[in-house]
Amino acid sequence: MRHARREGLAMTGVLTGGPVYVPVEGRQLAEHELAAHHWVVARLGCHLVREGMYVVPSDTLSVEQAYALGIHWVDQFFGGIVPFPFVGTKLISHPLVAMHASAPKGWRHQHPHRLSGLVVPGWGAFSVEDLHEAAGRLLNEGAVRLKLGEGRGGGQQWVVASLASLKALLEEEAALAAGIEAGVVVERNLRHPVTLSVGHVILPTLSLSYLGYQREACDRHGVAHYGGSRLCCVRGSFSMLLEMLGEPNERLAVEQARAYHAAMFEAFPELVISRANYDVIQGFDARGQWHSGVLEQSWRIGGASPAEILAAECLSSGSRQRVDTNYVECYEANAAAPEGAEVIYRAAVDSGHAPTLTYVEVPAS
């Protein structure tokens, strides 16, 4: 393999003739994440992308990075291209507390209001003062959840029930205090939540949409982690997916994600997205009121991507219009993949806090 570096990118391979993996400088990937990324790239090259340039970046790209890689069309890469860094974070889903509030370059104040009814009630904050104001507006109706805007998955999140506990948290949690300048999300905390994943993938040979349920897994210390996703995938658009669904809450999740997806392009027409995943949470607030809304977007290769690519292989190889796939992360020391599954990663040593085994499968009907 050839290696090169350009515009904050560590490129592996040659940008012609099939998929190339491009690590984007920033967050360090765990071993099992890197293994999943390489598995996705290899399978794309075997079955779905055999000609022309195709890039699989490890993270969302800036316009400048995409230009440096020679990406000009949506079917030349797997992920997303954003005009400003904050657009690829959790912060894009919520308004600021005031027009004069601290905001990053490129912020569009009217955009978050387009998302009313599509997201869980919340605010974005880029200063300590705005953080306190945002929390105060929500705490009258129960506890709030704080999330670093640039955080991934369920990490770097805290729940507070009062302004006093928020003040104490800021004094105790260096990560929260240090992350305020880059942005913090303040959302209503939901109890007994169910998290659904709604996604759309555009490949050179086909497009697919899916509804999924996330699996939770605990390590040997009892800490809960993302444990994989179970996807129901169909050829085509979100509209095709809706035709396959009858359960009202599932349909609502897809409708909210579809509207959120469209609103993003209205606010930021510069966006280019070939892989979109939207986490939709459904649950009850402290007053017992049920909510459903998009938690965050992922416009990059993600946890569900091995299941997405396996589904694309199945849908492209025949007349099937629907397929179910699973991606599973196991934390048990003696974990074993079921018959017919394909192992993606097996840990050499059980660290106690990372997956020992990951696999992907088409489950038996």
pLDDT score at 114: 86
**Whole-structure pTM value:** 0.92
pLDDT at 208 over 80: yes
pLDDT at 13 over 50: no
pLDDT score at 2: 33
Per-residue pLDDT band at 10 (split at 50, 70, 90) = low
Residue 75 burial class via C-beta count within 10 angstroms: exposed 0-12, middle 13-18, buried 19 and up: middle
b/e map of 27-41 (b: 16 or more CB within 10 Å)?
A: eeeeebbebbbebbb
Question: Quick check: 127 and 133 in contact, CB under 8 A?
Answer: no
pLDDT score at 8: 56
Question: Quick check: 291 and 283 in contact, CB under 8 A?
Answer: yes
pLDDT score at 360: 98
Per-residue pLDDT band at 14 (split at 50, 70, 90) = very low
CA gap 332, 335 in Å, rounded: 5
Question: Quick check: 81 and 60 in contact, CB under 8 A?
Answer: yes
Per-residue pLDDT band at 15 (split at 50, 70, 90) = low
